[in-house]
């Protein structure tokens, strides 16, 4: 049986999932009017989504397409996700009237940079996929 390696990318992915669960549970709860709290409540979903979707992308490549998760695929996926996040902000601004939020894009780009570089810096062997 093939076993998934558990590296820094998986840790960040699971943290992203936990962030989203917390956001869903606390979305309707008004804990504070503090500007920092409101900023985090609005920006953390982007951080969590970037990490969780990158992990889901890795799983799709590994278990659906049965291919190795290589550095090239990682680069393409991270860049593609950043472009889709930018497109989402523009679409919401143009078609739904919600204002373009620069901080959402900034947080998402920082999250993508972290999930892109952390496995490289820590020398994870996750690019080989599974044994």
- Whether 38 maps to a domain, the answer reads yes
Burial call 75-100: b when 16+ CB within 10 Å, e when fewer: eebbeebbeebeeebeeeeeeeeeee
| Each residue's pLDDT tens digit, 91-117 | 988 888 888 888 888 888 899 999 888
Residue 74, domain extent: 8-128
Q: For residue 129, what pLDDT is reported?
A: 44
Could you please report the per-residue DSSP string of 53-100?
HHHHHHHIIIIIS-----HHHHHHHHHHHHHHHHHHHHHHHHHS-PPP
| Each residue's pLDDT tens digit, 43-87 | 888 899 999 999 999 889 988 998 888 888 888 988 998 898 888
Q: How far apart are CA 76 and CA 61, in angstroms?
A: 12
- Whether 1 maps to a domain, the answer reads no
- Whether 104 maps to a domain, the answer reads yes
Q: How far apart are CA 35 and CA 68, in angstroms?
A: 44
- Whether 80 maps to a domain, the answer reads yes
Is residue 15 classed exposed, middle or buried when 0-12, 13-18 and 19+ CB atoms within 10 A define those classes?
Answer: middle
- Whether 3 maps to a domain, the answer reads no
What total number of domains does the chain contain?
Answer: 1
- Whether 44 maps to a domain, the answer reads yes
């Amino acid at each position: 049986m093939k076993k998934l390696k558990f590296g820094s990318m998986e840790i960040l992915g699971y943290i992203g999932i936990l962030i989203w669960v917390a956001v869903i549970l606390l979305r309707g709860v008004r804990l504070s009017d503090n500007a920092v709290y409101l900023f985090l409540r609005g920006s953390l979903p982007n951080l969590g989504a970037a990490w969780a979707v990158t992990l889901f992308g890795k799983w799709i490549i590994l278990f659906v397409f049965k291919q190795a998760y290589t550095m090239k695929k990682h680069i393409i996926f991270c860049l593609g996700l950043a472009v889709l996040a930018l497109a989402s902000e523009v679409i919401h601004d143009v078609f739904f009237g919600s204002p373009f939020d620069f901080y959402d894009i900034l947080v998402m780009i920082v999250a993508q940079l972290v999930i892109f570089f952390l496995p490289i810096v820590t020398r994870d062997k996750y690019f080989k996929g599974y044994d």
